[in-house]
Structure 1
């Protein structure tokens, strides 16, 4: 495994209190970086901070409650990072969830909510941290996106549309920020284990059916070639690669983390 030392660098992870965001924060801390995470849910955020501190007792860690759709919250979070660490080298935009709906049953308000979540969860943190990123030696922005951006599903019409738009936004940002040496990339995930899927398992699993069997059956139904759900740490490893100088000549690109679900060449 390639080793990289991030001592002296600062990584910011939005939506860092669980799942992919938390797994990504762990990788940054393990590599020696200072890490700032944020999340909306104070209870989950406190649990994440406790877990990370237990694993990395001496690591510089900041955990702040922040709703990335609230401009004031995001500005306050950036100010906390500036005060605590004085810099930002890597920004991971990881927030949002899928909305199951068809065109026929998606209301105007639901469209607005979905578009605002997918766009502004990327726009507001990027805008807030750009001043510090411009001063970094090798700055990067990485966004968690979905394979729906390239392969839309009719039962997730609003999310698919929003994901395609944010993929375009990442490409535009990469072009605009390249002269400032800021790389911008994304990952496109398929189904990855999450609290949302754990809740569905609790509601839908047959009596006596365990998590592994339930997810394997669902993976078969959804035609996932690798036959299972992805794990948060697998998506985190792709984010880590794109955020660090391991991918120093990559910008405006994406990594597919979908278990082979992509049908396009």
Structure 2
């Protein structure tokens, strides 16, 4: 592997076999950095390892397996000495109306999008604090800021990840550790691919709402406007900036959607401001 005593950074990227994870890994390699890519099926990185054996290592990791997360983090730190950039990217799409989503489906999604990344972050954070440097990139979604029919569960997990990240950012800023929340819109990843997207059992009552979202997901794979390689470049640009933003929306659809959502929130706030302020004890 690359000599990590040089200026090259060490990246640990979960879900690195495809989509954003793969694009981020490839961009890091192109910059001369070292990449530890993890995935449930790490053989999906075999071609990248073969092409760059001194820069890339593939490790099998199911992010929902807490004991395995701890073991991988300890092993990586023992052998590399540090992780400069952690990218919590592993995830999947889930489509289903709130009523269609079972307890098991909801818990499993939180394990994947919230508890797994949280555990891995906690395992690597002490060395970042002690070194007074590093970055944590949490891959959220435009769904972390807003939601609509069919995406209630998915958006709930991303919103939880975002709020954990915002509090974390304030806590680790004194130690020189950056936290970046990435909010992509629709990108040409495998999230909507056949066999990749997960669908709750549909109820006819929600055919016009959650059902429309289901049909959109089923019919848009490969047609999304976003380019993962450009997303990876934008993430690197944000991390290298003197002032890294807390949130980075990616894609015109994400910017438009979040802007409209903020405008709607402002309108509600203004319309109900008198009532809201009237609940103070001295009003």
Same fold (TM over 0.5): yes
Q: Deviations over 1:123-151 (max 9, x none)?
A: 01101111222244531111111101112
Q: Is the 8 A contact 1:142 1:242 kept in 2?
A: no
Q: 1:152 Cα deviation (Å)? A: 0.5
Gaps of at least 5 residues in structure 2 are 1-5, 197-215, 260-283
Corresponding residue of 1:231: 227
Q: Is the 8 A contact 2:49 2:58 kept in 1?
A: no
Matched position secondary structure for 1:62: strand
Corresponding residue of 2:50: 53
Q: Deviations over 1:13-33 (max 9, x none)?
A: 111122111110111111111
Corresponding residue of 1:259: 252
Corresponding residue of 2:278: none
Q: Distance in 1 between matches of 2:188 and 2:29?
A: 22
Q: 1:66 Cα deviation (Å)? A: 0.8
Q: Deviations over 1:98-123 (max 9, x none)?
A: 21011121112222122222211320
- Change over 3 Å in CA distance of 1:198–1:102 after alignment to 2: closer
Give RMSD over aligned pairs.
2.4
Corresponding residue of 2:203: none
Q: Where do 4+ consecutive residues of structure 1 move more than 4 Å? A: none
- Change over 3 Å in CA distance of 1:179–1:82 after alignment to 2: same
Q: Distance in 2 between matches of 1:193 and 1:12?
A: 22
Q: Distance in 1 between matches of 2:145 and 2:116?
A: 20
Q: Distance in 1 between matches of 2:195 and 2:108?
A: 22
Q: Distance in 2 between matches of 1:263 and 1:63?
A: 36
Task: Give runs of aligned pairs for residues 161-176 of structure 1, distance below 5 A.
Answer: 161-176=156-171
Task: Give runs of aligned pairs for residues 166-245 of structure 1, distance below 5 A.
Answer: 166-199=161-194, 228-243=224-239
Corresponding residue of 2:142: 147
Corresponding residue of 2:77: 82
Corresponding residue of 1:13: 13
Q: Is the 8 A contact 1:193 1:230 kept in 2?
A: yes
Corresponding residue of 1:70: 65
Q: Deviations over 1:186-245 (max 9, x none)?
A: 1101111123434279xxxxxxxxxxxxxxxx79x99xxxx84212212222332334xx
Corresponding residue of 1:249: 243
Bigger Cα displacement from structure 2, 228-237 vs 182-191? 228-237
Q: Distance in 2 between matches of 1:50 and 1:131?
A: 33
Q: Distance in 2 between matches of 1:154 and 1:180?
A: 40
Q: Is the 8 A contact 1:7 1:34 kept in 2?
A: no
Gaps of at least 5 residues in structure 1 are 1-5, 202-217
Aligned residues: 231
Q: Is the 8 A contact 1:62 1:81 kept in 2?
A: no
Q: Distance in 2 between matches of 1:71 and 1:80?
A: 14
TM-score by length of 1: 0.79
| 1:107 matched to 2:96 | no
Q: Is the 8 A contact 1:69 1:124 kept in 2?
A: no
